[in-house]
């Protein structure tokens, strides 16, 4: 129970139930500066790496598939081969506009189903199985890549069939479902004081996957073509599924068979649990910091997904006129720099300077704004490779805010927390696709960099909001982190 002082602050009186452990997963703090490495049975980072490796490859390959098909459907091959050299401006703008619209359609078909299922996946992972929720989005990607491979192989197949693949991926969780599942698992098995570090390592997998995925996508596309690239991506996802089934140990397992567990995913009780989590009484300052921190994460995802949707189009547009391989180099360098900053620089900063999470968020937002402005002003191709180093601290923002949010909830509520975050990310991603693609299509003839100006402005507004959260956080005089004491499972010591 809380003290009278805490009661006077409006803190909810909570009696935590006796902690239970149904699995044999050992809890470790993940940080090589402080403790030993975790058991291999709790290392889910390779799963996210393989999943995101295919996501980044697909982002480049799919946009090029659309770009090529739309151009060839409307113009002859001789025009399409030199479309980006500035000689056919109106044709280039038309193809870019149509490609942008198809990307928007696919994002809608992906994000709406994945938002719906995430309301059930998070509470299900808290109560029944975190492992199943990790596997389902990977299966969704396998189905998506199979559909894309078939559309690529049969050249006369209408592009509309690709929407089926994105729907199947979305109904099985999609990218947001995968990230929610991995973060829920990782934060569950990590000591609270090391969570920002662990979340940073998890997110670094996204950037390292982006480095390799985007770098290889252009090269592989050039030498083996669309079909075999999609076959390769499906194979990577199958390897991830096998790794998860054989290596990763489940948490909160119900003891039932996989088939029976799957039948309970869409139980209405999961939705009720989520509503109870949202409406749970909390200290007023805690509620404000938690709510606005989630909002900051959502807006940052809006900027990330929006820029990701138009980056290829912007870099291929004149006067930059980058080739697909050059775009791959740019994104690979950008991802590598951000990944190294999370897996090396962030732990070092936490070890020796121990900066506040809000300070880390502000540093990341300023870095993002500077990078967006720089990219929008560049007119010489070789200068684009300096932009990734300007955005060095970009990854700190979302990592820090996720760390802040996860420290306010129980381990058994991590799935619900990241469900809320993932739903918000899905909604903001959809809005980002609508906004950035529509704005880019409408303004590409005026100035292709207008979207980047807007992104920088929003980042500065988020800096102001984060400063407010920092000051509000200091007002929380009695801060109790709601975490149960680790209790060894039967047979463990």
Amino acid 86: pLDDT: 61
Q: 245-266, pLDDT tens digit by residue?
A: 999 988 765 666 666 777 778 8
**CA atoms in the 13 A half-sphere facing the CB of 236:** 23
Q: At CA 316, angle to CA 315 and CA 321, rounded to 5?
A: 95
Whose structure tokens read 């989590």?
A: 277
Peptide bond into 319 cis (omega under 30): yes
Q: What local confidence, expressed as pLDDT, does residue 254 receive?
A: 60
**Which of 170-179, 238-247, 319-328 is modeled with the greatest confidence?**
238-247
The length of the chain is 493
Higher-confidence residue of 84 and 354: namely: 354
Q: Is the pLDDT of residue 489 over 60?
A: no
Which pLDDT score is estimated for 486?
Answer: 43
Q: What's the CATH code, domain 40-251+266-272?
A: 1.20.1250.20
Q: Of 142, 196, 208, 123, give the one whose Cα is nearest residue 422.
A: 123
Give me the chain's average pLDDT, please.
81
Q: Domain locations in the chain?
A: 40-251+266-272, 280-486
Residue % of the chain over a pLDDT of 70: 85
**Rounded Cα distance, 321 and 327, in Å:** 10
Structure tokens at 398: 């979302």
The reported pLDDT for the residue numbered 21 is 41
- The pLDDT of residue 360 is above 90: yes
DSSP annotation of 342? I
The listed CATH number (3.90.1170.50, 1.10.540.10, 2.10.109.10, 1.20.1250.20) that belongs to domain 280-486:
1.20.1250.20
Predicted local distance difference test score (pLDDT) of residue 111: 83
Res 28: pLDDT: 45
* Domain 40-251+266-272 shares a fold with domain 280-486: yes
* Predicted confidence band of residue 82 (pLDDT cuts 50, 70, 90): low
Q: Point out the least confidently predicted range of 27-31, 229-233, 250-254.
A: 27-31
Lowest mean pLDDT among 8-12, 43-47, 216-220, 244-248: 8-12
Both tokens of 44, joined, read 């889910």
pLDDT at 242: 96
Question: Which stretch, 183-192, 236-245, 272-281, has highest mean pLDDT?
Answer: 236-245
Q: How much is the pLDDT for 55?
A: 92
- Residue 157: band (very low, low, confident or very high) from pLDDT cuts 50, 70, 90: confident
Cβ atoms of residues 346 and 378 within 8 Å:
no
Higher pLDDT, 325 or 58: 58
pLDDT of residue 433 exceeding 90: no
């Amino acid at each position: 129970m809380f003290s009278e002082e805490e009661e006077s602050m409006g803190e909810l009186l909570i009696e935590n139930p006796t902690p239970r452990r149904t699995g044999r997963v050992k809890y470790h703090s993940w940080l090589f500066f402080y403790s030993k490495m975790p058991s291999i049975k709790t290392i889910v980072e390779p799963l996210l790496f393989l999943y995101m490796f295919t996501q980044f490859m697909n982002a480049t390959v799919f946009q090029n598939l659309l770009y090529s098909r739309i151009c060839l459907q409307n113009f002859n091959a001789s025009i399409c081969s030199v479309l980006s050299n500035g000689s056919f401006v109106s044709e280039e703008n038309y193809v870019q506009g149509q490609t942008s619209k198809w990307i928007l359609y696919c994002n809608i078909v992906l994000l709406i189903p994945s938002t719906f299922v995430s309301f059930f996946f998070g509470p299900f992972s808290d109560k029944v199985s975190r492992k199943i929720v990790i596997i389902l989005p990977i299966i969704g990607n396998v189905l998506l890549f199979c559909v894309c491979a078939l559309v690529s192989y049969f050249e006369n197949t209408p592009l509309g069939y690709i929407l089926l693949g994105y729907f199947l991926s979305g109904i099985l969780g999609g990218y947001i479902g995968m990230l929610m599942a991995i973060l829920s698992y990782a934060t569950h098995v990590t000591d609270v004081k090391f969570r920002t570090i662990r979340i940073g390592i998890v997110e670094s997998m996204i950037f390292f996957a982006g480095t390799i995925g985007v770098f290889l996508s252009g090269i592989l596309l050039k030498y083996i073509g669309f079909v075999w690239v999609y076959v390769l991506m499906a194979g990577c996802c199958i390897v991830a599924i096998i790794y998860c089934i054989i290596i990763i140990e489940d948490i909160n397992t119900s003891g039932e068979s996989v088939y029976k567990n799957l039948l309970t995913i869409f139980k209405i009780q999961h939705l009720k649990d989520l509503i109870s989590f949202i409406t749970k009484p909390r200290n007023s300052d805690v509620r404000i910091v938690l709510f606005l921190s989630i909002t900051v994460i959502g807006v940052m995802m809006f900027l990330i997904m929006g820029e990701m949707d138009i980056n290829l189009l912007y870099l291929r547009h004149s006067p930059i006129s980058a080739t697909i391989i050059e775009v791959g180099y740019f994104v690979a360098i950008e991802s590598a720099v951000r990944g190294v900053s999370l897996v090396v620089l962030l732990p070092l900063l936490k070890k020796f300077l121990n900066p506040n999470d809000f300070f880390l968020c502000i540093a990341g937002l300023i870095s993002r704004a500077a990078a967006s402005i720089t990219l929008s002003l560049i007119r010489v191709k070789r200068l684009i490779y300096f932009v990734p180093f300007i955005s060095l601290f970009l990854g700190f923002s979302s990592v820090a805010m996720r760390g802040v949010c996860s420290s306010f909830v129980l381990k058994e509520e991590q799935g619900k927390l990241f469900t809320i975050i993932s739903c918000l990310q899905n909604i903001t991603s959809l809005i980002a696709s609508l906004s950035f693609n529509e704005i880019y299509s409408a303004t590409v003839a005026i100035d292709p960099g207008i979207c980047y100006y807007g992104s920088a402005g929003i980042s500065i507004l988020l800096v102001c909001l984060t400063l407010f959260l920092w000051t509000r956080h200091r007002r929380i005089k009695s801060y109790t982190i709601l975490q149960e004491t680790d209790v060894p499972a039967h047979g463990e010591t």
